[in-house]
A and B are shown apart, each in its own frame.
Chain A
Amino acid sequence: MTKIFSNFNWKAQALGDHAIQFYLPEKMDPAMIGEIKCFHDFIFSQQLKEIKDIIPSYHTLTLIYDIALMHEPIAFANDLIEKFSSERKTEVAAEEVNVIIEVPVCYDEIFGIDLISMSTKLNLSITEIIKIHTENIYQVYCLGFMPGFAYMGDVNIKIQTARHPQPRKNVSAGSVGIAGAQTGIYPMHSPGGWQIIGRTPLKIFDKNPAILSKFKMGDFVKFYPITRAEFESLNQNEL
């Protein structure tokens, strides 16, 4: 087994009195997703009693800890960075088969309520927007905003569109949207400002504790188009 040392230089800072934030340079970079996931999985595998939550994001990994059990948070954090750097074995990651989660999307304008305005703005036909959105394999940077909401990227620059300045009061569950370089799916009805291009019939978040979130950080995702009739027959979301 060869150990390959990381080029990533993790740093740690206290985030108030009950969290530690590990951070890399602040940029949205798909190359960092694997590294953050690796560090997340390493800390998770340690089963540390002090840690209540491990929350990954674009360039950070944050630990929420129990004050009663924590003594020196910064020493604790630096110790984890050191252990991680010396114990990681990246050849496992290279051999790992990446499962791609395939997500059916109905890009009918009845669901893709922003397709027409985007088509005008981007100077592309709706067919071209759909083709470009379904071409890429996306990776999940992180989850947040609401249970199960996965921020995926990167969206082809040709169809990147800024979010609406005023969020809509109600976006339907299953709605697939774009915000700049990111794409994502609303797991439940909620207010939201993303540009909506379609809807998936899949349930993205299930309260059943054995299922919960369809996606986790680091997952690969590919969208494929389905017809309105296929959507109706597959739909698992409340309309």
Chain B
Amino acid sequence: MDTLQDKGRYGFQHIGIPPCGYLDYLSAQLANVIVGNPKEAPIFELHFPASSFIFNEAHTICISGANFVPVLNDKSIALNTPIQVCKNDTLDFMQPLLGKTSYLSIKGNIDSSAWLNSKSNFTSQLKNNVQFNIIAWDADNKKNSNNPTEQESQQCNINEIQKHIFNSNEIRFIPGPQWNDLTNESSSNILKQPFNTSLNSNRMGYTLKGPSLQLIEQKSYLSSAVTRGTMQLLPSGEVIVLMANHQTIGGYANIGQIILVDLPKLVQHKSDTPFRFSISNVETAHSEYKQMQKCSS
């Protein structure tokens, strides 16, 4: 499912409106920064098999996140690099080589109507043959990264972000309000046993495959707010990690929250590569989030 996404809409969760927004915000921001867009500009979020794109005029584009082997007029192109495209060029994605979610940024603002301050769409995917106009930014938003020292530091940042997202099988979380309601065996299994993402994963949530987890006593909880990264324990013993299109409140046991800086790792984790969970804390989560945000700017 391919959609247009930005940072999402906040301020409406109290009336049940999901925040939405890009799943892997680090890759999305990177793709925007590389073409000189504001970090939080709207961007195309792609899942394999991804849409084809035909350009009606010349543009600077960039692809970040998952590597779906992008080809421009049948010639393979690099990720995380500004690419010049000409009128009538076609962009296709050939195979899901690495990761699950890819981003296509285009220099300029993608013309699409916003609803409640966001262009993120949570009900429908891109329609067949839909056409978008690209509007140049006004002077305020222009950014010039032509000087060599900046390019050099950008390269180093790209590597750091890539490594963080794709070269780690450790995903950190902070125990949630119902962590202590898990049996000892279950809480130790979360930390010792490998997990995989399942094919039952989408923009609402990722269902995980791993050891079956149990609560000390089966009980129901009163619903309260959940957020992206919330690890809910389903009655089946499976864990679902909530993603951008999540419901705003939930009544399943909230056993933990994946830290925001590690969420892109889970987003990009394919079902055939196991990962492990470890426990983190708010201080670490904040300092690493801020560190990684510096990288993608």
Q: Name A residues whose Cβ lies closer than 8 Å to a Cβ of B.
A: 13-19, 21, 23, 26-28, 40, 52-60, 62, 64, 67-68, 70, 73, 142-149, 151, 207, 209, 212-213, 216-217
Q: Which of B142-178 contact A (CB under 8 A)?
A: 173-174, 176-177
Please list 26 pairs of residues, one from A and one from B, whose beta carbons are closer than 8 Å in the complex, sorted by A's number.
A14-B282, A15-B227, A16-B227, A17-B174, A17-B260, A17-B280, A18-B227, A18-B260, A19-B227, A19-B257, A52-B11, A53-B14, A55-B13, A55-B225, A55-B249, A57-B225, A58-B222, A60-B225, A67-B289, A67-B290, A68-B293, A145-B249, A146-B247, A147-B12, A209-B115, A216-B15
Q: Which of B227-264 contact A (CB under 8 A)?
A: 227, 229-230, 247-250, 254, 256-260
- Contact present for B174 and A57 (CB under 8 Å): no
- Contact present for A57 and B223 (CB under 8 Å): yes
Contacts of A59 in B (CB 8 A): 222, 224
- Contact present for A13 and B177 (CB under 8 Å): yes
Contacts of B173 in A (CB 8 A): 16
CB distance from A47 to the nearest CB of B (A): 12
Among A15, A52, A70, A212, residue most surrounded by chain B Cβ atoms (within 10 Å):
A15
Q: Given A56-B14, A144-B16 in contact, is the A73-B282 Cβ separation under 8 Å?
A: yes
Contacts of B254 in A (CB 8 A): 15
CB distance from A214 to the nearest CB of B (A): 10
Contacts of B18 in A (CB 8 A): 147
Q: Which residue of B lies closest to A13 (CB)?
A: B177
The docked-state distance in angstroms from the alpha carbon of A211 to that of B205 is: 29
- Contact present for B248 and A15 (CB under 8 Å): no
Contact of B247 among A16, A52, A144 (CB under 8 A): A144
Contacts of A19 in B (CB 8 A): 225, 227, 257
B286 at the A interface (CB under 8 A): yes
The docked-state distance in angstroms from the alpha carbon of A147 to that of B230 is: 19
Contacts of B225 in A (CB 8 A): 15, 19, 21, 55, 57, 60, 62, 64
Q: Which residue of A lies closest to B17 (CB)?
A: A147
Q: Which residue of A lies closest to B229 (CB)?
A: A16
CB distance from B260 to the nearest CB of A (A): 6
Q: Which residue of B lies closest to A142 (CB)?
A: B249
- Contact present for B16 and A57 (CB under 8 Å): no
- Contact present for B14 and A15 (CB under 8 Å): no
Q: Name B residues whose Cβ lies closer than 8 Å to a Cβ of A.
A: 10-19, 115-116, 173-174, 176-177, 221-225, 227, 229-230, 247-250, 254, 256-260, 280, 282, 285-286, 289-290, 293
CB distance from B108 to the nearest CB of A (A): 26
Contacts of A217 in B (CB 8 A): 14
Count of A-B contacts with CB under 8 A?
Answer: 127
Q: Which residue of A lies closest to B284 (CB)?
A: A17
The 10 closest A-B pairs by CB, nearest first: A16-B257, A62-B225, A144-B249, A17-B285, A52-B10, A55-B225, A60-B224, A213-B15, A57-B224, A53-B13
Contacts of A62 in B (CB 8 A): 224-225, 227
Contact of A148 among B15, B224, B230, B247 (CB under 8 A): B15
Sample of 8 further A-B pairs with CB below 8 A, known A21-B177, A52-B10: A15-B176, A16-B259, A26-B221, A54-B14, A57-B249, A68-B289, A145-B16, A212-B15
The docked-state distance in angstroms from the alpha carbon of A49 to that of B259 is: 21
The docked-state distance in angstroms from the alpha carbon of A64 to that of B258 is: 15
The docked-state distance in angstroms from the alpha carbon of A26 to that of B219 is: 13
The docked-state distance in angstroms from the alpha carbon of A57 to that of B226 is: 11
- Contact present for A143 and B15 (CB under 8 Å): yes
CB distance from B43 to the nearest CB of A (A): 20
- Contact present for B174 and A16 (CB under 8 Å): yes
CB distance from A150 to the nearest CB of B (A): 8
Contacts of A18 in B (CB 8 A): 227, 260
The docked-state distance in angstroms from the alpha carbon of A67 to that of B18 is: 19
Contacts of A143 in B (CB 8 A): 14-16, 248
- Contact present for B14 and A55 (CB under 8 Å): yes
The docked-state distance in angstroms from the alpha carbon of A158 to that of B59 is: 66
Contacts of B10 in A (CB 8 A): 52-53, 64
- Contact present for A15 and B257 (CB under 8 Å): yes
CB distance from B284 to the nearest CB of A (A): 9
The docked-state distance in angstroms from the alpha carbon of A64 to that of B115 is: 20
Contacts of B221 in A (CB 8 A): 26
- Contact present for B257 and A148 (CB under 8 Å): no
Contact of B260 among A58, A67, A145 (CB under 8 A): A67
Q: Which residue of B lies closest to A26 (CB)?
A: B222
